[in-house]
Chains A and B, each alone.
Chain A
Amino acid sequence: MGDLTVQLEQQIQHAYATKTPLKIRGGNTKASLGRETSGEAMDMADHSGVISYSATELVVRARAGTKISLLNDLLAEQHQRLPFEPPSFAGEATIGGTVAANQTGASRPWFGGVKDSLLGLGLINGYGEVMQFGGQVMKNVAGFDVTRLQCGAMGSLGLITDVSIKVLPEFKAGHTLTFDMTIEAALEAMLKWANLSLPITGMSHFKGLLYVRLQGGAGGVASASTFLGGEKLASKAAEIFWQAIREGSFLQPRHDQTLWRWSGASDTLANTVPNTSLINWAGAERWVLTEALDTPLEGLVQYQGGDRLAEVYGAISAPQQALQQRIKHAFDPHGILNAGRLYAWM
């Protein structure tokens, strides 16, 4: 644990000089995401530790290798939380990897994704230059938003060295309601309820049940609960359910299976995404588990399993592909940082 910025900078400068591909790794919990690549290991787990945390400013700044579980514990001491509810993957996931892989939990439609909480970050580009973008304040529009550009870039535009994140207070009260519903009925109900100003922080459908999580002040939660009806889930069972949603543990593909992710408008009809196994984000995210040899599902991302040398994120238009290649080149001219992790051509 400590500040390894100098070593990381030197490693990238050396890789730049020798055109050596690097494979960035934090807690090694996201090896199954993105495309399979090779390269010299760039270990981030020891580049860790909280740099600053001010509960009254609602900002925490930590090195990229800092574990999500550690951040959760630290924030909980001050009755605060990470707004985007990222998975901790058995306590090993790091904040750097979480940002790079854009990992968000069940509260996404109401409290935003990684980008909505991300205020700034440190980045070492493919030249080996140490840079800082954004900052620790809530509003900042100076310069291009290089900070948020990193969300989902899978480390292909630079090595994230530290991140500054907006945090929020813990909820004072909360519970989960369940409703016995088909996928079609659940999609209708979620659309209707998301339209109302209710303290909802999660709506997921799994195995014939719609789960609605209410969180907020005690009075607000109680009145919303009365309004919605349904069965109240025991608090332990609710905790286990939402943890499983966050950690993705309901749908772990076996070695011969593929997990597909669909993302789209929440009013998309159920039959548009056949064989949906789980619905999250009030209908805006749907998951399908298939046998590995199944042909790619149109419009879905090959999230885990299957052929990891394929273009798992699908194809994009030729002009946008060319643009992304130029952007990659602007950050990493020799293509040494996580080359091919997002797309074979990048």
Chain B
Amino acid sequence: MNSLLNAPNKPPHEGVIDVSTFVSALQKILPVGAVILSKEGQRPFECDGLTVYQQLPLVTAMPETVDQVQAILRLSHLHGVPLVPRGAGTGLCAGAMPHAEGLLLVLTKLNQIVHVNHKTCTATVQPGVRNLALTEAVAPFGLYYAPDPSSQIACTIGGNVAENSGGVHCLKYGLTVNNLLQVTMVTIEGEIMTLGGAGLDEPGMDLLSLMVGSEGLLGVVVEAKVKLLPRAPRVQVLVAAYDTVTAAGDAVAALIGQGIIPAGLEMMDHLAISAAEDFVKVGYPTDAQALLICELDGTDAEVEEQLLLVCECFKQHGAHHIRIAKDAAEAAALWQGRKAAFPAVGRISPDYYCMDGTIPRSQVGYVLTRISELSQFYGLRVANVFHAGDGNLHPLILFDASIDGELEQAELLGGDILTLCVDVGGTITGEHGVGLEKMPQMPYQFGDAELAQFRRLKAAFDSEELLNPGKGIPTLKYCQEYRSLQHG
């Protein structure tokens, strides 16, 4: 990977960590088996969903209580040991990759749904609760948890808070930040702090929102109170096929511009459609250059009203095939193709690299054309699957890591796509986070003053840079080296 990223990120205590004292103190805090030291035992934790970045930690700890988490943070702080928090490890930016000289704090054992209040439509959960497990647990009350990232079967609420996860329904119902009322976090000093509250807007600066998406750099979330939504009485799914991605992009912009906000509005390009259809065989039109998947929800009356408008708008913009799901089974099948798009692409290529830029909707046609040109330039195929409604692209770069240099080419192509997103007024990451992966693009999106402000903010929480060091926010030195490389 990038040579800058491989530089050892030494803790500020400059190698004075007394490993044996630290580990034996850790073993006194946790039960037998909750401290993992062996290479074999730690191997499953060496990476997150972005598997090209791997690193074994010094030690892995799996606490079961908040008290243990507090004690571990105090101990790390005392000994100056870097600490990387982690949930299920489904992230896609190497944000949870361990630190070679640090402790990996695995929070999956804190997996209790503490309380569900169906009257106020809220739930209090520990960070290791899986996203889908929460939705399943509240289903008997007719409720669900809105953010639904593709990894929802495995990913945890703690990880969702750290990355501000979205999903296919965040167009209408928002990201994690829009569905959170309160978090309890532990600071690097081991202090417990509650941010937000049971109400909707607490007085003072919005520290709760600051914690969301902070990628484990500011504190460790040990409890979250989330909003739940009532299930809509009716959900209607339809797909529309187009001859060009530009026409499909225009249809999306027109629909949103008309004031219709579907619950979900996704787009797939030809390569993604073919791969998905080959994999799950749900009857997608494989001759289409672009496919829109649209979900409407609400009362019967609301859905009927919207369905007419959506079909009319899609046709006006050149849809040559519209399929309206007749029942829940057909709706699920139409979604299945989209949800299986990543593994489907995995079947047609030895490896793929998923990008995550967001752009203004009006730029979709231009950006997809540019991506296609870049794809030809690098000689690597790109399949596009994305949250069209909010302009969040997920180009999947197909490559073969066993071919010398192809991974590097894929990374360069990915980097070009991200800077393209910034150039058209967008961002390098819509929902996956910066982690280790997108550090090179941070100085492209932000100037020195903003980056310095981020670092001062980080220092206000963690002056010794022990929490997830080397991720999220590049250091001044890193930026200087990056820029000299770009200009050299």
- A interface residues with partner B (beta carbon < 8 Å): 54-59, 79-80, 102, 104, 108-109, 112-113, 115-116, 125, 129-133, 135-146, 148-153, 156-157, 168-170, 172, 191, 194-199, 216-220, 222-224, 262-268, 281, 284-285, 301, 313-314, 316-317, 319-320, 323-324, 326-327, 329-331, 342-343
Does the CB pair A139–B457 fall under 8 Å?
no
Determine the residue in chain B with the shortest Cβ distance to A191: B119
Name 30 A/B residue pairs within 8 A (Cβ), A-sorted: A115-B177, A137-B390, A138-B430, A139-B390, A139-B430, A140-B429, A141-B434, A143-B454, A143-B472, A145-B214, A148-B210, A149-B205, A151-B209, A152-B203, A170-B259, A195-B118, A195-B142, A216-B298, A216-B302, A217-B302, A219-B301, A223-B300, A263-B199, A267-B117, A319-B187, A319-B193, A323-B460, A327-B205, A331-B453, A331-B457
Does the CB pair B427–A140 fall under 8 Å?
yes
Residues of the B chain whose Cβ atoms lie less than 8 Å from the Cβ of A216? 298, 302
Q: A148-B209, A196-B230, A265-B122 are in contact. Are A137 and B360 (CB under 8 A)?
A: yes
Residues of the A chain whose Cβ atoms lie less than 8 Å from the Cβ of B121? 194-195
Does the CB pair A144–B197 fall under 8 Å?
no
Determine the residue in chain A with the shortest Cβ distance to B200: A284
Task: List B residues 134-191 near A (Cβ within 8 Å).
Answer: 142, 163-164, 166, 170-171, 174-175, 177-178, 187, 189, 191
Q: How far is the CA of A265 from the CA of B207 in the complex (A)?
A: 19
Does the CB pair A264–B197 fall under 8 Å?
yes
Does the CB pair A112–B174 fall under 8 Å?
yes
State how many angstroms separate the Cβ of A120 from the closest Cβ of chain B. Answer: 9
Residues of the B chain whose Cβ atoms lie less than 8 Å from the Cβ of A138? 171, 358, 390-392, 430
Residues of the B chain whose Cβ atoms lie less than 8 Å from the Cβ of A314? 203
Determine the residue in chain B with the shortest Cβ distance to A78: B257
Interface 0/1 of B348-389, CB less than 8 Å to A = 000000000011111000000000000000000000000100
Residues of the A chain whose Cβ atoms lie less than 8 Å from the Cβ of B450? 131-133, 143, 146
Closest 4 CB pairs of A and B: A169-B259, A263-B199, A219-B301, A56-B257
Determine the residue in chain A with the shortest Cβ distance to B164: A141
Does the CB pair B199–A284 fall under 8 Å?
yes
Residues of the B chain whose Cβ atoms lie less than 8 Å from the Cβ of A267? 117, 119-120
Q: A145-B212, A148-B206, A263-B201 are in contact. Are A197 and B257 (CB under 8 A)?
A: no
* Interface segment out of the listed B397-405, B406-414, B438-446: B438-446
Does the CB pair B261–A168 fall under 8 Å?
yes
Does the CB pair B301–A222 fall under 8 Å?
yes
Residues of the A chain whose Cβ atoms lie less than 8 Å from the Cβ of B178? 112, 116
Residues of the B chain whose Cβ atoms lie less than 8 Å from the Cβ of A79? 259
Q: How far is the CA of A301 from the CA of B257 in the complex (A)?
A: 40
Q: How far is the CA of A222 from the CA of B304 in the complex (A)?
A: 13
Does the CB pair B213–A145 fall under 8 Å?
yes
Q: A143-B473, A219-B305, A220-B301 are in contact. Are A191 and B453 (CB under 8 A)?
A: no
B198 within 8 A of A: yes
Task: List B residues 191-225 near A (Cβ within 8 Å).
Answer: 191-193, 197-207, 209-210, 212-214, 217-218
B315 within 8 A of A: no
Q: A56-B257, A56-B361, A342-B204 are in contact. Are A327 and B305 (CB under 8 A)?
A: no
Q: How far is the CA of A155 from the CA of B445 in the complex (A)?
A: 25
Q: How far is the CA of A285 from the CA of B117 in the complex (A)?
A: 18
Does the CB pair A265–B198 fall under 8 Å?
yes
Residues of the B chain whose Cβ atoms lie less than 8 Å from the Cβ of A102? 201, 206
Task: List B residues 441-486 near A (Cβ within 8 Å).
Answer: 442, 445-447, 449-450, 453-454, 456-461, 472-473
Q: Which of B175, B306, B456 contacts A139 (CB 8 A)?
A: B175
Interface 0/1 of B212-244, CB less than 8 Å to A = 111001100000000001111100000000000
Q: Which of A131, A146, A218 contacts B305 (CB 8 A)?
A: A218
Residues of the B chain whose Cβ atoms lie less than 8 Å from the Cβ of A125? 449, 453
Does the CB pair A143–B233 fall under 8 Å?
no
Residues of the B chain whose Cβ atoms lie less than 8 Å from the Cβ of A141? 163-164, 213, 427, 429-434
Q: A152-B204, A281-B200, A301-B203 are in contact. Are A195 and B119 (CB under 8 A)?
A: yes
Residues of the B chain whose Cβ atoms lie less than 8 Å from the Cβ of A284? 199-200
Determine the residue in chain A with the shortest Cβ distance to B459: A330
Does the CB pair A137–B447 fall under 8 Å?
no
Determine the residue in chain B with the shortest Cβ distance to A320: B193
Determine the residue in chain B with the shortest Cβ distance to A116: B178
Does the CB pair A109–B390 fall under 8 Å?
no
B258 within 8 A of A: yes
Does the CB pair A152–B205 fall under 8 Å?
yes
Determine the residue in chain B with the shortest Cβ distance to A104: B201
Q: How far is the CA of A129 from the CA of B426 in the complex (A)?
A: 23
- B interface residues with partner A (beta carbon < 8 Å): 117-122, 142, 163-164, 166, 170-171, 174-175, 177-178, 187, 189, 191-193, 197-207, 209-210, 212-214, 217-218, 229-233, 253-254, 256-261, 297-302, 304-306, 358-362, 387, 390-392, 425-434, 438, 442, 445-447, 449-450, 453-454, 456-461, 472-473
State how many angstroms separate the Cβ of B294 from the closest Cβ of chain A. Answer: 16
Residues of the A chain whose Cβ atoms lie less than 8 Å from the Cβ of B231? 197
Q: Which of B201, B230, B461 contacts A195 (CB 8 A)?
A: B230
Q: Which of B217, B254, B460 contacts A327 (CB 8 A)?
A: B460
Residues of the B chain whose Cβ atoms lie less than 8 Å from the Cβ of A223? 299-301
Q: How far is the CA of A281 from the CA of B207 in the complex (A)?
A: 22
Residues of the B chain whose Cβ atoms lie less than 8 Å from the Cβ of A262? 199
Does the CB pair A136–B193 fall under 8 Å?
no
Q: How far is the CA of A222 from the CA of B122 in the complex (A)?
A: 28
Q: A132-B450, A139-B431 are in contact. Are A217 and B306 (CB under 8 A)?
A: yes
Residues of the A chain whose Cβ atoms lie less than 8 Å from the Cβ of B117? 265, 267
Residues of the B chain whose Cβ atoms lie less than 8 Å from the Cβ of A148? 177, 206, 209-210
State how many angstroms separate the Cβ of B361 from the closest Cβ of chain A. Answer: 6
State how many angstroms separate the Cβ of B303 from the closest Cβ of chain A. Answer: 9
Q: How far is the CA of A144 from the CA of B231 in the complex (A)?
A: 32
Determine the residue in chain B with the shortest Cβ distance to A139: B430
State how many angstroms separate the Cβ of A36 from the closest Cβ of chain B. Answer: 16
Residues of the B chain whose Cβ atoms lie less than 8 Å from the Cβ of A342? 203-205
State how many angstroms separate the Cβ of A76 from the closest Cβ of chain B. Answer: 13
Residues of the A chain whose Cβ atoms lie less than 8 Å from the Cβ of B306? 217
State how many angstroms separate the Cβ of A330 from the closest Cβ of chain B. Answer: 4
State how many angstroms separate the Cβ of B352 from the closest Cβ of chain A. Answer: 21
| Known A56-B254, A198-B299, A220-B299; 15 more pairs at CB < 8 Å | A57-B253, A112-B174, A137-B430, A139-B427, A140-B358, A143-B442, A143-B446, A144-B473, A268-B198, A281-B200, A285-B200, A319-B189, A319-B193, A324-B205, A330-B459
Q: Which of A59, A150, A196, A222 contacts B205 (CB 8 A)?
A: A150
Does the CB pair A146–B453 fall under 8 Å?
yes
Residue of B191, B204, B425, B427 contacting most chain A CB atoms (<10 Å): B204
Q: How far is the CA of A146 from the CA of B205 in the complex (A)?
A: 10
Residues of the B chain whose Cβ atoms lie less than 8 Å from the Cβ of A317? 193
